[in-house]
Amino acid sequence: MPIIKNCKIVLIDDEEGIRKITSITLEDRGYIVQTAADGEAGLHLCQETRPHIVLTDVRMPKMDGLEVLANLKKKLPDIEVIVITAFGDIETAVKALRLDASDFITKPLNDDALHTALDRAQERYISRKQVQDHTLLLEKGWAHTTQDLIRTFNFQENLIESSMDGIMGCDPDGTIVTFNRSMAAMLDYPKEKVISKMALDQFLSAEDADKLQNALQAPHYGGENKLYLYETVLSHRSGKAIPVQVSASVLFEQGKKSGTVYYFRNLQEIKKLEQEMAVQARILHQDKMISLGKLAASIVHEINNPLAGVLNYIRLMIRILNRGPLEADRQLKFQRYLDLVEKEIDRCSKLLSSLLTFSRKPSSAFTQVDVNDLLDRCILLSQHKLELQRIKLETRIDAQIHPVNGDYNQLQQCVINLIFNAVDAMPDGGFVSLQAGHDMQKEIVTIAVRDSGSGIDEKDLPRIFEPFFTTKQEGYGVGLGLSTVYGIIKNHKGIINASSPPGEGAVFTIELPFVSNAG
Ligand SMILES: Nc1ncnc2c1ncn2[C@@H]1O[C@H](COP(=O)(O)OP(=O)(O)OP(=O)(O)O)[C@@H](O)[C@H]1O
Ligand SMILES: [Mg+2]
């Protein structure tokens, strides 16, 4: 019984008798046999039928058995070839084995020898097939794994490359092995000039490099072998210092340090923004100090006058009291004097408290602002200045204006700045109108300051909100008032408009949105 199911054999022999007898023996055993009378016909048959085993005589005219074997091994290497040699022809047998024959048998053919050789050839065939299948499977698996690896690698490469933060990987010696796009852009170094050629230390001052390594080892910044939100400075190719925030991790493989990965965030923009904000805050404060100075000057008069009055009344009352007990009609007068004193002192106290509110340190916290109360205080603070310059104040302020979310102090600064500008525009007197109300549909509060002053020149109109733009004489204006107003209103998500209709003075209109979105 053949080991291989439907085992096909091609028998090549020039002796017809041998072909016939051997075929019968083999078919009898269950093999499928086809025969050829010479080497060439045998090869042809093999190509057509792809047998498992070829039995070939060596000695044949034209193409001998060894040539058949060599040809088969070249073209159809899967086929097992058993050569049939003449008895005692060891030399040919060795040649055949060298050419990778499975076996050789000698003539005259012995049944046992033939079947043993066929069994061995089949085993060889099967195990080679198994090895082939296995190799194929391995190759397939390997190709799959390779593809997976490539995909994972590409994904990770992409991940590193697309990071907005700079990523730098160093081997245990500190040599840079990863340097992503953001890193290259941040420091203006092309990747190929850095990878395997430079170390992180070359981007840091010696002192900063030491500090960074110490911080990495110390437990304070995210733990040992870790660094979290540490700040340092890298040097750009031009030598410029780039402030950065670093997070880093020492990597370990099987307990051994395998490198360090650093994540750098460029702080340049943030630092610039911080500086700009500091400048803005300074301007806001500067403007406020100027306004405060102007207010204080006018309020000194405002308080001085009532205080002089109060003093007079008190002196008068003391004088009367010194004369002896109070008569009934005097008592009534006293009552009136005291009422006046109380009123004047109350007014002074209100003025001072408004001034205090105004000078309060700015707090960025927004609260609900009562617009009516805010405007009352603005009027109180500027009243005297208006009176001094013979300016009439007209108010058209709706009762119970919808509150806005904002900074009371800053909004007050805006209105005062607008009123003071109006005053400055009317050295010979005039009128200021303060209007306010709300629009429930548009959900805005409107505050307008209008004056009968000189108006704003058309060419100046686009520039009045610029910081330090002033048309006033030196010592009279810095040019910060309107730019501050603009900044504050913008911060409140509102808008401010200025217009100057010919011959009508100037109009400034502030619109503030209702409620919570201002914060
Ligand atoms: N009501 C107004 N009428 C006419 N011109 C005005 C009026 N308000 C502002 N301006 C013009 O706008 C310019 C800029 O005003 P802004 O308040 O910013 O600065 P300033 O008043 O000149 O100086 P500061 O307010 O810093 O003391 C003024 O110099 C003036 O030319
Ligand atoms: Mg001004």
> For residue 493, what is the DSSP state?
T
Rounded percentage of the chain residues whose pLDDT exceeds 70: 96
Contacts of 316 (CB under 8 A, 6+ apart): 337
Ligand nearest to the CA of 449: 1
Q: Which residue has the tokens 């927004």?
A: 366
Reported as a single tens digit per residue, the pLDDT across 156-191 is: 999 999 999 999 999 999 999 999 999 999 999 999
Task: Please tell me the distance from the alpha carbon of residue 238 to that of residue 243, in angstroms, as a whole number.
Answer: 14
Q: Provide the pLDDT for residue 105.
A: 93
**What is the pLDDT, as a whole number, of residue 358?**
66
Q: Which residues pair with 277 in a beta bridge?
A: none
Pick the CATH number of 274-518 from 1.10.10.10, 1.20.144.10, 3.30.565.10, 2.160.10.10: 3.30.565.10
Which regions in the chain score pLDDT beneath 50?
A: 517-519
Cα separation, 467 vs 464, whole angstroms: 8
Superfamily for the 8-134 domain: Response regulator (3.40.50.2300)
Distance CA 477, CA 473 (A): 7
Report how far residue 62's alpha carbon sits from residue 69's, in angstroms, rounded to the nearest whole number: 14
Whole-number pLDDT of residue 519 = 39
CA dihedral 443, 447, 450, 455 (to 10 degrees): -80
Whether the CB of 11 sits within 6 Å of ligand 1 = no
Q: What is the chain's Cα-based Rg?
A: 52
Q: Quick one: pLDDT at residue 373?
A: 94
Residues 359-368 have pLDDT tens digits of 665 556 789 9
- Average per-residue pLDDT for the chain: 89
Please calculate the CA angle 279-417-447 and round it to the nearest 5 degrees: 115
Regarding the beta carbon of 432 and ligand 1, being less than 6 Å apart is answered: no
Spatial distance between the Cα atoms of 281 and 285, rounded to a whole number of angstroms: 6
User: Closest residue (by CA) to atom 31 of ligand 1?
Assistant: 471
Res 517: pLDDT: 44
| Residues 295, 27: Cα–Cα separation, whole Å | 125
Q: What are the tens digits of pLDDT across the range 314-358? A: 888 888 888 888 888 888 888 888 888 888 888 787 777 767 666
Residue 478 CA to ligand 1 centre (angstroms) = 9
472: Cβ below 6 Å to ligand 1?
Answer: yes
Which pLDDT score is estimated for 90?
87
Nearest-ligand number for the alpha carbon of 477:
1
Considering only CA atoms, which residue is closest to atom 25 of ligand 1?
481
Classify domain 166-266 at the CATH class level. alpha beta
pLDDT for 364: 62
Instruction: Tell me which of 421, 450, 454, 466 to substitute to probe ligand 1's pocket, judged by most ligand atoms within 8 Å of the beta carbon.
Output: 421
The secondary structure element, H or E, covering residue 468 is none
What pLDDT is recorded for position 459? Answer: 92
- Ligand 2 ion local residues (Cβ < 5 A): 421, 481
CA of 496 to the centre of ligand 1 (A): 14
Find out whether the beta carbon of 419 lies less than 6 Å from any atom of ligand 1: no
Q: pTM of the predicted model, to two decimals?
A: 0.49
Report CA(495)–ligand 1 centroid distance (Å): 18
- Residue 138's H or E segment, with its range, is helix 111-161
The pLDDT of residue 19 is: 94
Residue-range domain boundaries for the chain: 8-134, 166-266, 274-518
pLDDT of residue 281: 77
